[in-house]
Chains A and B, each alone.
Chain A
């Protein structure tokens, strides 16, 4: 047990090994259940799910799109720190990378189950359809996951015990010096795959609810997905940092770091809300009517009423943007955290609308309104991905220096111990 504790960063306090194991137990159980569900889908096929030829995108794609947007904090924080030199973000960059690794690897796992036939997974890379946005997504996500794993290496090798090995220490040092190259590549890849994910829906001419006009080959959703991911990445970082602070009872980042992230998120969220509003107005007044549909028709099908549009743009877009842009409000955790959470919910809602509502709505005269509820195998696989994320983050938080300011901030929350009075001055 003492050996295990020797891996923990000097000067930070972590719970005892038994307590840590107790925390891990339910997540490991959930991961095993998820693995069983995924195994069923891979062995028996997609008949284990409630998807069909018409409802080909379900819970998994919704989850993939959401966690990839939330994981955008990794590329965007890296871009701000290493390219634009926002030095304050050093305090959260490691957390952003861990979140990125968790989100992207989790999304890849879910995609693998969704696509099925893992033995033929390499076909995507060997015989790519270069005209497909999905191909761009596959290549970019795979490449970016590789970049993230390389970016994760210095965090791992900086572990107190591992860096005692000279080869690890030296490699970590040299890799860290080149990290700005990887940050640049990550930004390039993220920029394109976030856009391509949005583009996937925007080019669906047969689905007027999702179809959008745009610039050259890129529909407006291409740009909206990029802006929304960049806007919500810092918000998700705020939310996760606060969540870890709450669970562990420690302060992990200074207020100025939260403030900077909130400001960045607020500015980008405002740009997104503006762009989304303009896009929606063009779609309502021009795009949709030109395809033979009045936009109001889409919202006749309950539960997808106009409330969903209001919730997406105003409640989870404009409201958090205003809070995050107001210095007095974002300085208070009581406002900041709900605003960050609302922004994250807004992006999740957007991805839900793009995936689920698009497929549910009838487009041809003989179509009917479809409903879809994920099967327990689909839900189990999703929960497995969630458990995997919690486990990776928990291990990373325990053994690696995820928040470099943690030790410095300890003084502000730690009650003083009673010590014997035999010390002189010290």
Chain B
């Protein structure tokens, strides 16, 4: 057992903006080609690794576990996370998980995290995925585990952790930014500003090749099939489409008063 266990949730997303959609289910086709770690999740992992560096400096034994739900090819991305400094990884992969909305994804991730051999102290997710843009998984997971959650964290200060057992988190809010102090266990979602994911070293790549990435299916983690994948997703995507961009631009010239009059006419016409 470690002194401090962090779980980081990562998602494989398409490496390009050209996303293929399944015409029947209206969900994104994930064939693993040129998949990358969701950029926000990459920041979440960097946050965990930076904290790990800090805590090791405090003399603590720290563990970072990366968890993902995805197709079997996602295993290579998890090995990449280990090459960069994570200690181990769990991949939830099963056809039963396919087509999951955020509720079903949260359920699967919760089952996976509960199946780990150690409870977590800190759960870190990227604030959103660039393919889905929901920003729901982190807060939903926190809800599922009934722990506090801070979203959109841009800075973590660990200096006071050994004395008061809490982390100072700077996060975005309606008023701008605020600093909150959280005791463990807790969850947070990270903004990209928190840090760029470090590159792996040759030693890390060697270690990742030999590392044990635990690959599990729904049954392995005692997940109820009725709560997984499409079956467990109340969200129904009726249609996906690229919005038509039919706006036109009209230049308004003349003197200031002439421009104001023309503008007023345009606005009247919009009513």
Q: Do they bind each other?
A: no
CB within 8 Å of B: which residues of A? Answer: none
CB within 8 Å of A: which residues of B? Answer: none
